[in-house]
Amino acid sequence: MIVNFVRSKRYWYFIFVVICRKNIGFYIHSSSARC
């Protein structure tokens, strides 16, 4: 079910990767992009 998917670690890891990629694109000219 959707609830189990939300509680799973893969879901949060996917969200982390998406946010991480956005941060890299935003701080592409900065040295603060660490992922």
Average pLDDT over residues 7-34: 74
Q: Are the C-beta atoms of 6 and 21 separated by less than 8 Å?
A: no
- pTM of this prediction? 0.42
What is the Cα gyration radius of the chain? 13
* Cβ neighbour number for residue 35 with a 10 Å cutoff: 10
Burial pattern 7-28, b for ≥16 Cβ within 10 A else e, equals eeeeeeeeeeeeeeeeeeeeee
- Mean predicted confidence (pLDDT) in 8-16: 84
pLDDT at 35 over 70: no
**Range 13-17 average pLDDT:** 86
